[in-house]
Amino acid sequence: MACSRSNFFLYASFQYHNTADGVYKVFNGKDDISKVAIIDTYKGKKHLSYWPSYCDMINGTDGASFPPFIEKTRVLQFFSSDICRSFYAVFGAEINLKGIPVYRFILPSLAFASPLQNPDNHCFCTEKIISKNCTLYGVLDIGKCKDGKPVYISLPHFLHASPEIAEPVEGLSPNEEEHSTYLDVEPITGFTLQFAKRLQINILVKPGKSIGALKGLKQNYMVPILWLNETGTIGDEKAEMFRNQVTGKIELLGLVEMILISVGVVMFTAFMISYCACRLKSVK
């Protein structure tokens, strides 16, 4: 569903199994191009009601696109409804994607850091016992937005998580290449042409006297249930169209600019030589 309305654009997002994610109201950039695709409200609200302070804000876009003319120094903010919070990505590298130059922005380790490592995350720590007074890092308790269930989100294989969380679990082998989340964004248009969204869902298991399998536990454990690897990239046909309609014309414009500059330099040089020659003749 989509419709245009003044400075905003409304659309309904659909996620897994064609289930409705909710209605987003985003800026269309009519009055300010720097706000293109920025979310104004989600389900009619500007805040989530899950976190205290600024952590509850809905920031950035949905990740599909960003305001145009992106620089490497920009921090890209995006909102993920299934994780119940806003995230951000920082520049990682320049990538050539099917002949299209793109910037790869990566979800940094500080996004899941403890308040000791990243003070901005203090409002994402909502309890003191499991987090050991907010000193553990690499996992996010999203129980408040999952009907109170003991659900925790992390990067796959507990990438960038506290060693004591990962050590009890056998078979883990975290690495950046396979388990990081990134967005490949074309800097002129702000379109995301390739992405990888990788997350791990964990549950908290506690010692329980009434349950035989849990009687022998001496501490709480974070147990991985599954990890998601949601990826996408622009198709070959669309990539060719993009090269022809966007990057090709930009390169042509750059070539024309260089030619005009070169012609200008040649004309200026010729003028100066002619002027100097005339001056010499007049002196003689």
User: What is the dihedral angle through the alpha carbons of 31, 54, 81, 32, rounded to the nearest 10 degrees?
Assistant: 10
53 domain-assigned? no
Q: Is the pLDDT of residue 85 over 90?
A: yes
In a 3-state reduction of DSSP, which class is residue 49? coil
Residue with the two structure tokens 């056998």: 170
Q: Are 1 and 10 in contact (CB under 8 A)?
A: yes
pLDDT at residue number 71: 95
Residues 195 and 164 in one domain: yes
Residues 208 and 89 in one domain: yes
pLDDT at residue number 30: 85
Q: Which structure tokens are listed for 233?
A: 């990239």
Cβ neighbour number for residue 248 with a 10 Å cutoff? 13
Could you give the CA distance from residue 190 to residue 18 in angstroms, rounded to a whole number? Answer: 26
Residue 65, CB-side half-sphere exposure with 13 Å CA sphere:
17
Least confident of 80-94, 160-174, 249-263: 249-263
Could you give the CA distance from residue 90 to residue 73 in angstroms, rounded to a whole number? Answer: 8
In percent, the amount of the chain with pLDDT more than 70 equals 80
What confidence category does residue 275 fall into, taking pLDDT thresholds of 50, 70 and 90?
low
pLDDT at residue number 3: 47
Residues 220 and 255 in one domain: no
Residues 17 and 75 in one domain: no
Taking residues 86-99, report their average pLDDT: 95
Q: Are 185 and 66 in contact (CB under 8 A)?
A: yes
Could you give the CA distance from residue 181 to residue 154 in angstroms, rounded to a whole number? Answer: 11
pLDDT at residue number 18: 54
Residues 156 and 274 in one domain: no
pLDDT at residue number 251: 56
55 domain-assigned? no
Could you give the CA distance from residue 180 to residue 106 in angstroms, rounded to a whole number? Answer: 7
Nearest to residue 197, comparing CAs of 223, 163, 236, 233? Answer: 233
Could you give the CA distance from residue 106 to residue 8 in angstroms, rounded to a whole number? Answer: 28
Residues 4 and 99 in one domain: no
Domain count, the chain: 3
Taking residues 117-121, report their average pLDDT: 95
Nearest to residue 227, comparing CAs of 190, 200, 245? Answer: 200
Taking residues 108-125, report their average pLDDT: 94
pLDDT at residue number 77: 97
Q: Are 47 and 67 in contact (CB under 8 A)?
A: no
Residues 159 and 257 in one domain: no
55 DSSP 8-state letter = G
pTM confidence score: 0.81
Residue with the two structure tokens 């979310």: 39
Q: Are 52 and 121 in contact (CB under 8 A)?
A: no
pLDDT, averaged across the chain: 85
What confidence category does residue 258 fall into, taking pLDDT thresholds of 50, 70 and 90?
low
Q: Is the pLDDT of residue 167 over 70?
A: yes
pLDDT at residue number 11: 61
Domain that includes residue 253, residue range: 247-284
Q: Is the pLDDT of residue 245 over 70?
A: yes
What would the pLDDT profile of 65-76 be if each residue is shown by its tens digit?
999 999 999 999
In a 3-state reduction of DSSP, which class is residue 147? coil
Type of residue found at 78: F
pLDDT at residue number 215: 64
Residues 166 and 255 in one domain: no
